[in-house]
């Protein structure tokens, strides 16, 4: 079952957004400081590759995604939603090939 972003919440950091999800993505906090650190997690890796994330934090039913200062939030949020819609859990690969 894919994840759905139920709300985007601003943070004090103008380059970070908190994304509330419809269900937990992790059992506790997990941070990814770069794409290399996300190599073992398909959802985090896809957020780096497809959404342009610079750092990511998973914690229960929310994630925080940081973006480059030059990226616009409308595009980044759309890409975050798309990545999460293709994923079934943070340990499963995105559902790119499911019917």
**pTM (2 decimals)?**
0.86
> Of 48, 69, 65, whose CA–CA distance to 56 is shortest?
65
Mean pLDDT (the chain) is 90
CA distances from 66 to 56, 63, 92 (A): 6, 10, 22
| Residues of the chain above pLDDT 90, percent | 86
**What is 5-85's CATH superfamily?**
Scaffold protein Nfu/NifU, N-terminal domain (3.30.1370.70)
Q: Where are the domains of the chain?
A: 5-85
Separation of alpha carbons 19 and 9, rounded Å: 6
pLDDT digits (tens, 9 = 90+) for 2-32: 999 999 999 999 999 999 999 999 999 999 9
Q: Give the residue carrying structure tokens 């929310």.
A: 62
């Amino acid at each position: 079952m894919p994840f759905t972003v139920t709300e985007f919440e601003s943070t004090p950091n103008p380059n970070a957004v908190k994304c509330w999800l419809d269900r937990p993505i992790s059992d506790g906090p997990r941070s990814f400081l770069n794409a290399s650190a996300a190599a073992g997690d398909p959802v985090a890796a896809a957020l780096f590759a497809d959404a342009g994330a610079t750092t990511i934090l998973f914690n229960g039913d929310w994630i925080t995604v940081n973006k480059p200062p030059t990226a616009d939030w409308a595009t980044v949020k759309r890409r975050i939603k798309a990545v999460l819609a293709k994923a079934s859990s943070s340990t499963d690969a995105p559902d790119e090939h499911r019917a």
